[in-house]
Structure 1
Amino acid sequence: MELIRLGEPGNERPAVRHDGATFDLGALTADLTGDFLADGGIDRARAALAADELSTVEETGQRIGSPVTKPGAVVCIGQNYAAHAAESGTTQPERPIVFFKHPNTVVGPYDDVLIPPGATKVDWEIELAVVIGKTARYLSSPEEALDHVAGYAIANDVSERAFQIEQSGGQWSKGKCAETFNPLGPALVPAADLGDPRKLGLRSWVNGEPRQDSSTSDMIFSVAELIHDLSQYLVLDPGDVLNTGTPEGVALSGRFPYLKAGDVVELEIDGLGRQRSVLR
């Protein structure tokens, strides 16, 4: 089962893919919101499918939006893959490195990425995104953390490295928060349908040329460890998005050129589909 949103920006409608067909979720919710997820929305969608209560909808020709609408927060983890920390010239962090992206960075999986004025070092970062389904605060252990996950999606943590490093003032968010800098999707795959989030292949391409090819097994801190740790410092609300870090193979490594207008970035994670963005 895959939860998606169809339609133009601001007018998306919720839908669910199942067994090769796409079904309208409008009878259950007006949109894929945190409230829907917190209120057992995924289970209700599953039950409605089983009872044949949903009408089909045609996807062809429709834009696919981000699989959640208006997240309250986009929380990100830096240098969470061992090989990426090494290519960045840093030692592995002892505790998760946390930064935030503005919620308006979140766009659809096939929407354009807009290069901000003065940008010279725009970079790609494939990441496993976690969508929170139940409020997480002061969790007692990582073992209970995954119960707070609604599902997973692909995120591109687009970064402007000059803004992030040279103009940062000591904090990364200047290079992370330009509008459209977090394409998300194409779908939200429920946690129960994905399996172990530490056994997923991640791949990226720029203009058809391979860039990243790794596995979430290279994560320094697992999804469960991240949610547990974050819950000691902030409350994760339903609908919040957690970007869990990127593997090696980005332009910051010095091995590849930075992005320019017209470049095409494609990302793929096992079980979560594929996204494609054009730089404008």
Structure 2
Amino acid sequence: MGSRRQFIKTVSASGAGLVAASAMGVMQEASAHPTSVWGGDIYSGPHEMVKNSKILSIKNPDGTETLGVVTPKGVIDVRAVAKKMKISAPLTLDQLLQEGNAAGFNKVVASADKSGVPYLDESKITYGRLFKNPGKIICVGLNYRQHADEVGMARPAVPPLFNKYNNSLAAHNCVLEIPPPEISYKLDYETELLIVVGKRMRNVPEAEALNYVAGYCTSNDFSSRDLQLELPSGQWMIGKTLDQYAPIGPYFVTSDLVGDPNNLKIQTWVNGEMRQNSNTSDFIHNTQHMLSYISKYWALEPGDIVFTGTPQGVILGMPKDKQVWLKKGDKVVSYVEKLGELKFTLG
């Protein structure tokens, strides 16, 4: 028995030594070549929110999705300029927001002219997803007075919250592949203002909430009403988060360029026919209240995104004999003032 215990101790000690030595080697290798999860050097500077910028995502021939900056001269290809000028800069909007390397981003923009890299013609760009991996996708339901009235529901005392997942994220000009009819056929549009969080906020009072916003986008909380409302117990999450059910774009616009988010025109067209025409001034819970309320329950982190509800004019709010659900081939245009037209086709 004694020799057996000694054998176990010896093996355990040698195994621990091997693990420690291996871990030390990994640590030394990592410290010798520190890289971020995005690739490239780890950014260790101050976390700053980008300002005075209109940003899009470029779908490159190699399949990557990288930053473009809209300027009067054309679109700056951030990846190409950063590489040419040897600037350590964020290459995606997720990275820019989450790392906070606004200085590197600004350096690329300032270097665009002297880099010699051609400006891109936006009309020839294939758009990528603005967001690929946000930490959280939070949605506020039933947040316009006239929309609550049209669907016959009481105006909620607090913002009703639900979620989407990253699988639902889709790009401007995408073909949104709808589910087969045996899964869902009551397909509906919901044009919405999207809030993009720029710095960590927890228990933030309403008076300070807008200071934490990096910017805004046009978005569509695409919905399957049969899954959302007709499955047992009401399955909002299922009805809202199938693949590609969150088109966003074409731009991320910084908050300083947008101004008051609670006074923006918001509209939807389907096959050229206007369906929604409202203003965010009809919010039940304004932008400050939504963010402050959410931050009471968990922290909002840089790069998190918040859908803010849709106005009246959805198919669900029409009389049942006039409800013609969206179908393959339909073209949807979502518009929010100062943020551009988000377009997608159902496939």
Question: Fold match, TM over 0.5?
Answer: yes
Moved more, 72-81 or 163-172: 163-172
Alignment-derived partner of residue 55 in structure 2? 3
1:273 aligns with 2:318: no
Q: Distance in 1 between matches of 2:196 and 2:63?
A: 20
Q: Which residue of 1 aligns with 2:165?
A: 102
| Shift, 1:214, TM fit | 0.3
Instruction: Please give the secondary structure, in 1, of the residue aligned with 2:217.
Output: strand
- Please give the residue correspondences for 1:1-280 in structure 2 after superposition, counting only pairs within 5 Å: 1-8=53-60, 10-26=63-79, 27=82, 28-33=89-94, 35-42=95-102, 44-46=104-106, 48-50=108-110, 55-58=117-120, 59-117=122-180, 118=182, 119-139=184-204, 141-167=205-231, 169-255=233-319, 256-280=323-347
Deviations 1:46-77 (A, max 9, x none): 46535656644423433112223311221000
Q: Which moved more, 1:116-125 or 1:2-11?
A: 2-11
Q: TM-score, normalised by structure 1?
A: 0.93
Q: 1:196 to 1:20 in 2, by over 3 A?
A: farther
Alpha-carbon distance in 2 for matches of 1:91, 1:106: 30
State the AA in 2 paired with 1:268. Answer: Y
Secondary structure of 1:112 counterpart: strand
Instruction: Tell me how large the CA RMSD over aligned residues is.
Output: 1.9
Which one has a larger percent helix, Structure 1 or Structure 2? 2
The residue type equivalent to 2:267 in the other structure is: R
The question of whether the paired residues in 2 share the 8 Å contact of 1:132 and 1:150 is answered with: yes
Deviation at 1:169, TM superposition (A): 2.3
Query: Are the equivalent residues in 2 in contact too, given 1:136–1:235 (CA < 8 A)?
Result: yes
Structure 2: gaps (5+ residues): 1-52, 83-88
Distance 2:161 2:114 in 1: 42
Normalising by structure 2, report the TM-score: 0.76
Indicate conservation of the 8 Å contact 1:72/1:103, yes or no.
Answer: no
Provide closer, same or farther for how the CA distance between residues 56 and 261 of structure 1 changes in structure 2, counting only shifts above 3 A: same
**Are the aligned partners of 1:203 and 1:212 in contact in 2 as well (CA < 8 Å)?**
yes
List alignment gaps of at least 5 residues for structure 1: none
Report the 3-state secondary structure (helix = DSSP H, G, I; strand = E; otherwise coil) of the residue aligned with 2:176.
Answer: coil
Which sits farther off after the overlay, 185-194 or 1-10?
1-10
Q: Partners in 2 of 1:5 and 1:38 — Cα distance?
A: 16
CA gap 1:46/1:53 in 2 versus in 1, 3 angstroms: farther
Deviation at 1:24, TM superposition (A): 2.0
Instruction: Give the 3 Å change call, closer, same or farther, for CA 120–171 of structure 1 in structure 2.
Output: closer
Cα deviation code 1:10-29 (max 9, x no counterpart): 51121111224211222221
The structural deviation recorded for 1:208 is 0.5
Q: Percent identity?
A: 35
Describe the superposition over 1:85-131 as per-residue Cα deviations: whole angstroms up to 9, x where unpaired.
11111010000000001111011011111211321100000000011
Number of aligned pairs? 278
Cα distance in 2, alignment partners of residues 19 and 47 from structure 1: 18
| Secondary structure, aligned partner of 1:154 | strand
Shift of 1:231: 0.5
- Find the structure with the greater CA-based Rg: 2
